Amino acid sequence: MSPPSFLRPARAVTPMAFVRAIVQAYERYGMDPAEALKAAQITPRELARPGARVTAAQFEALSGHAMQELDDETLGWFTRRLPWGSYGMLCRASLTSPDLGVALKRWCRHHRLLTEDIGLSLDVAGGVATLRIAENRPLDDTFREFCLVTTLRFVHGYMCWAIDSRISLRHASFPFAAPPHSDAYPLMFTPDVRFGAPQAGIAFDERYLALPLQRDERALRTMLKRALPLTILQYRRDRLLGQRVRELLRSRASEATTAEALAALLNVSGRTLHRQLHEEGTSLQMLKNEVRHEMAVDQLRRTTRPIKQVALAVGFRNEKSFSRAFLQWTGQAPRDFRQQGK
């Protein structure tokens, strides 16, 4: 299986530390990395620069060449090789799952057949799903960061590809101190990156697990030919975005007062928020209206609060604008609606 691109091809932001880890894999196997570096157009001078970065396309070329030349898709991380095609087998074994939750459980279970050095587990609590990596054996410090980062990227990439949706992460955790290139982590995962954690892992909304898989064998064969289809940032659509926006408007209305504030809570840009909602056939204003309507109906039916207080509670500046909006929603004035419900 080809490795996933770490970041957008046009930007040189993938840390050179990951390139050096691949070079060290060649050293472990007593082989020369010259051809792999040449394929990726990475010079010895660039390799030696501490803060240097490469593009996703360069990294894809390098790692793809190395995995085949070394016949090890894990590039020296574990006590034994994972021959070329191992991760493709994991993808295929999970492909017939009815939903993402079953697919991930199969992935975690089947991963143990490949190596015992690390173990993957999926836990769900409080509406949050967390995929964790247990280090069953001490990983070589040379490869540890690269191993944990890449393993999570592989699984996250497969998840997004399988359901054809961007899966927004709540947070990502790593059991080591922030490296010098830690600024690349928010681009690879999410702005909320936690270093010094007990285990490596990614957390996301539990409801993604119930989404059905959208891919078949033909799509899998196409995907396995190259890495770019697994790039997280290519998945612009988030199938749960509308639901997540509605929930934030209900539960954190005081914080989600503007599109920018709401986008920040969702870990996306304001532009991305508007674009994805448009692709779903809705808009932020439409969702606000839906939530305000639901909340207003609930307030009018369940409480005896004055109309003015109801208006303020559901996000309107005054009773007049609320009454006008409620009339448009229901064809009735708020007082008439309340009277009718008695």
Q: Are 234 and 228 in contact (CB under 8 A)?
A: yes
- Model confidence at 236, in pLDDT bands (50, 70, 90)? low
Q: Is the pLDDT of residue 174 over 60?
A: yes
What does the alpha-carbon distance between residue 15 and residue 68 come to, in Å, rounded to a whole number?
22
pLDDT score for 58: 86
Average pLDDT over residues 306-327: 88
The residue among 1, 2, 4 whose CA lies nearest residue 189 is: 4
Of all residues in the chain, the percent with pLDDT exceeding 70 is 92
Q: What is the pLDDT of residue 172?
A: 96
Measured from the Cβ of residue 334, the count of other Cβ atoms closer than 10 Å reads 21
Q: How far is CA 96 from CA 90, 213, 235, in A?
A: 12, 8, 21
pLDDT of 6 strictly over 60? no
Q: Residue 226 has what pLDDT?
A: 62
Give the pLDDT score at 228. Answer: 41
Model-level pTM? Answer: 0.72
CA distances (Å), 259 to each of 10, 38, 291, in order? 28, 46, 15
- 305 pLDDT above the threshold of 60: yes
Q: How far apart are CA 89 and CA 318, in angstroms?
A: 60
Asked if pLDDT for residue 16 goes beyond 60, the answer is: yes
Name the CA dihedral angle for 245, 247, 248, 254, rounded to a multiple of 10 degrees. 130
Q: What is the pLDDT of residue 231?
A: 41
Average pLDDT over residues 189-213: 94
Q: Lowest mean pLDDT: which of 7-11, 197-201, 247-251, 316-320? A: 7-11
In the predicted model, what is the mean pLDDT of the chain? 86
Choose between 137 and 12: higher pLDDT: 137
DSSP label of 228: G
pLDDT at 103 over 90: yes
Kindly give, in sequence order, each residue whose CB lies less than 8 Å from that of residue 192, ignoring residues fewer than 6 positions away.
Answer: 169, 170, 171, 172, 267
Residue 281 main-chain phi, psi, to 5 deg: 80, 25
| Mean pLDDT within 128-150 | 95
Q: What is the pLDDT of residue 9?
A: 41
Residue 194: which H helix or E strand, with range? strand 193-195
Distance, CA of 181 to CA of 38 (rounded, Å): 24
Length of the chain equals 342
**Is 60 exceeded by the pLDDT of residue 84?**
yes
**pLDDT score at 143:** 94
150/278: higher pLDDT? 150
Q: What is the pLDDT of residue 289?
A: 85
Q: Is the pLDDT of residue 39 over 50?
A: yes
Both tokens of 207, joined, read 């409801």
Q: Bigger pLDDT: 100 or 55?
A: 100
Bridge partners, 208 (sequence order): none
Q: Are 225 and 206 in contact (CB under 8 A)?
A: no
